[in-house]
């Protein structure tokens, strides 16, 4: 059965390999897709998702969509406007306050969409997250500085200080440090 799937999807996989060179076993290439090729590419992605969903369904879960580049957001927009059939569930997680304008249209409620809002962690949940060793005062500061955001809380707790230092924290990539700094300061 897997061979049949591969044979049926060979044209789609060839097209997808132009954007995902690893599918063809070739190094990446920075060539731009024409609008016609881009539309064929989007249909191919949708087709592959439909094939992967057969027979039992597929859940495509994407987190931090607010960090998506414009090309990725365009593909997601296509998939939202032309959802794959065959039991594909798409779940997109993003921070509305950080979603750039090119995602605004994508995340608008649609007839086939459901929006779930996830609230920040409460003070009690932050205390549970950092554990009793942090102590009530440190838990309170971490709660206030992180705003209850679990990711910020984890990074701040790992820094050993309730506020982000100017120096590079060990193991934290520079891009992530800069993004966190901008969000926590602003």
Write down the residue that tokens 């969509």 correspond to. Answer: 65
**C-alpha closest to that of 89 among 52, 44, 118, 117:** 52
In whole angstroms, give the CA distance from residue 76 to residue 103: 9
Q: What is the pLDDT of residue 164?
A: 43
Average model confidence (pLDDT) for the chain?
Answer: 75
pLDDT tens per residue, range 143-184: 888 888 888 888 787 776 544 444 344 555 666 667 766 666
Q: What is the pLDDT of residue 55?
A: 86
Indicate the pTM of the whole model: 0.61
Q: What is the pLDDT of residue 57?
A: 93
Report strand pairing: 88-92 vs 58-62.
Answer: parallel
- The yes-or-no verdict on residue 33 having pLDDT over 90 is no
Q: What is the mean pLDDT of residues 10-16?
A: 62
- The yes-or-no verdict on residue 51 having pLDDT over 80 is yes
Q: What dihedral angle (degrees, nearest 10) is formed by the CA atoms of 64, 36, 40, 88? A: 40
SS (H, E, C) 25-49: CCCCCCCCCCHHHHHHHHHHHHHHH
In whole angstroms, give the CA distance from residue 12 to residue 97: 36
- The yes-or-no verdict on residue 140 having pLDDT over 70 is yes
Q: What is the pLDDT of residue 60?
A: 92
Confidence of residue 21 (pLDDT cuts 50, 70, 90): low
Question: Phi/psi class of residue 63: alpha, beta or left (left: φ > 0; alpha: ψ in -120 to 50)?
Answer: beta
102 against 127, higher pLDDT: 127
Q: What is the mean pLDDT of residues 136-147?
A: 87
Q: What is the mean pLDDT of residues 13-39?
A: 62
pLDDT tens per residue, range 99-125: 777 776 666 655 567 778 888 999 999
- The yes-or-no verdict on residue 95 having pLDDT over 50 is yes
Q: What is the largest CA-CA distance in the chain?
A: 61
Q: Which two tokens stand for residue 117?
A: 């809002």
In whole angstroms, give the CA distance from residue 168 to residue 181: 11
Q: What is the mean pLDDT of residues 87-100?
A: 83
């Amino acid at each position: 059965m897997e061979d049949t799937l591969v044979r049926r999807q060979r044209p789609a996989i060839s097209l997808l390999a132009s954007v995902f060179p690893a599918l063809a076993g070739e190094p990446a290439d920075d060539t731009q897709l024409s609008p016609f090729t881009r539309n064929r590419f989007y249909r191919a992605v949708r087709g592959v998702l439909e094939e992967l969903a057969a027979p039992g369904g597929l859940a495509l879960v994407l987190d931090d969509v607010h960090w998506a580049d414009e090309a990725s957001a365009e593909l997601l927009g296509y998939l939202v406007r032309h959802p794959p059939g065959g039991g594909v569930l798409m779940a997109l997680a993003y921070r509305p306050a950080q979603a750039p304008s090119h995602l605004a249209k994508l995340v608008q409620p649609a007839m086939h969409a459901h929006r779930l809002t996830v609230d920040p962690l409460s003070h009690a949940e932050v205390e549970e997250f950092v554990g009793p060793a942090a102590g009530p005062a440190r838990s309170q500061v971490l709660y206030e500085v992180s705003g209850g955001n679990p990711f910020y809380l984890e990074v701040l707790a790992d820094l050993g200080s309730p506020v982000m230092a100017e120096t590079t924290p060990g193991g934290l990539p520079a891009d992530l440090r800069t993004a966190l700094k901008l969000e926590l300061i602003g």
